[in-house]
Amino acid sequence: MRVTMIGSGYVGLVSGACFADFGHVVTCVDTDAAKIEALNRGEIPIFEPGLDDLVAKNAREGRLYFTTELDDAVANADTVFIAVGTPARRGDGHADLSYVYQAARDVVAKLDGFTVVVTKSTVPVGTGDEVERIMREARPQAEFAVVSNPEFLREGAAIADFKRPDRIVIGTEDARARAVMEELYRPLYLNASPLLFTSRRTSELIKYAANAYLATKITFINEMADLCEAVGANVQEVARGIGLDNRIGSKFLHAGPGYGGSCFPKDTLALMKTAQDLTAPLRIVETVVAVNDQRKRAMARKVITACGGSVRGKRIAILGLAFKPNTDDMREAPSLSIITALQDAGAEIVAYDPESMGPAQALMPGISYAADPYSCLEGADALVIVTEWDAFRALDLARVKAGLREPVVVDLRNIYRSEDMRRRGFQYSNVGNA
Ligand code: UDX
């Protein structure tokens, strides 16, 4: 099949490369000429494990193309995916759909023969209806169907998530479109990934409901961690104890400094706004959003307490800046709030992250950046683990202790064990006494 991706950002690029790897012929389109030139040279603009090899292989084998020219790519396609950004609109938190609607206008002008137009971007309920209306109005005779097919890709594990998904959700009530989508996802039948067909609106809502539920699960265990600290219980054991109940499940129960990233914060906010506008408020989600925002700032207070009540004039080493490991993404990263609050309290910050120091430097020019974990913590009054990169799990703890001016470690991701750290002579604190 011939697939065209409008938008070669994170979702478009991963989805395009994976569809090509399944044997479809994929053209990724983007208006950013520099990005397309780079992709044609084999340079990948984002850090995602395995993506560079996947792109190189499929480009070499003639199944993956990059272009700024939408015309032929759309005219020849069986399916056109709209995978452009839907950033939170400044001021009101609603998703900004201007790029989606512009893509719809651009696409409909070039359609040739029956084409399935798929919204892959995360879009509020009803966006598919509006995309269809815009396209119908522009070309009443054009043959197309608008389908919703949300992505459930985790950064850092996006290729595996695409190729072995828990489910594929497809929102359409058009029989022709359904047949095309079944053919497109045929390569996944072997993996027994269920294809769930729903109405378009239901499919759009499933995406938001899934992200809001996961954000709620994380926030629940985070608050439980605070309670564990207050009562002297262990949050990891609580998580294990409840997670073994199949009705609850063990995933997304890792307590930490609050969720960040490009999806959960934006999507929970957009869902909350939609629900408020329709006077069907989602009070749980509203609370989750507020609790998570407060939590990121509260983590700085935890560091200040560990440092004896003040960080004024102290040097604080931060290991991990990205919102989670295996990505260079700094969007809504807890490190941003924690570092700002520590700076406001008078601390001097030195940080290290394996992948995100470039993006971080642009956002936080006022801190120092170290070349490796050990030089980061050298002479520091406290070490704070903010992102659980694997490389931090097996640090030489004797060297860490020798390097620190004070043996204070605040582990916001629970990557070390309390007894072990205390036995080694650290003043160790973590999240939920784990
Ligand atoms: C998420 C969804 O998982 C994915 O399905 C969706 O399509 C996009 O949003 P992503 O943002 O890449 O993916 O990261 P994810 O691994 O889900 O983590 C999100 C945030 O939650 C991170 O800040 C992470 O540190 C935090 N988290 C996750 C926890 O604090 N505890 C957990 O148990 C799990």
ipTM entry:
0.96
Binned at pLDDT 50, 70 and 90, residue 11 comes out as very high
What are the structure tokens assigned to 134, written together? 């815009």
**Whether residue 162 is found in the same domain as residue 42:** yes
What are the structure tokens assigned to 195, written together? 């294809």
**Whether residue 323 is found in the same domain as residue 374:** yes
**Whether residue 146 is found in the same domain as residue 256:** no
Cβ–Cβ < 8 Å for 380, 350: yes
Helix (H, G, I), strand (E, B) or coil at 383: strand
- What atom in ligand 1 is closest to the CA of residue 323? 23
Whether the pLDDT of residue 175 is over 90: the answer is yes
Closest CA to 124 of 163, 93, 161: 93
State what percent of residues in the chain have pLDDT above 70: 100
**Whether residue 311 is found in the same domain as residue 411:** yes
**Whether residue 151 is found in the same domain as residue 238:** no
Distance 119 CA to ligand 1 centre (A): 22
- Tally of domains in the chain: 2
Range of the domain at 35: 2-198
Catalytic residue among 18, 28, 228, 263: 263
Mean pLDDT of 340-346: 97
Ligand 1 pocket, 253 CB below 6 A?
yes
**Whether residue 386 is found in the same domain as residue 340:** yes
CATH of the domain at 374: 3.40.50.720
Q: Would residue 216 count as lying in a domain?
A: no
**Whether residue 181 is found in the same domain as residue 253:** no
Whether the pLDDT of residue 90 is over 90: the answer is no
pLDDT of residue 375: 98
Rounded distance, CA 362 to CA 54, Å? 29
**Whether residue 148 is found in the same domain as residue 281:** no
**Whether residue 340 is found in the same domain as residue 252:** yes
Mean of all residue pLDDT scores within the chain: 96
Q: Would residue 286 count as lying in a domain?
A: yes
Distance 211 CA to ligand 1 centre (A): 9
**Whether residue 142 is found in the same domain as residue 23:** yes
pLDDT of residue 355: 94
Strands 115-119 and 168-171: unpaired
Q: Would residue 36 count as lying in a domain?
A: yes
**Whether residue 32 is found in the same domain as residue 154:** yes
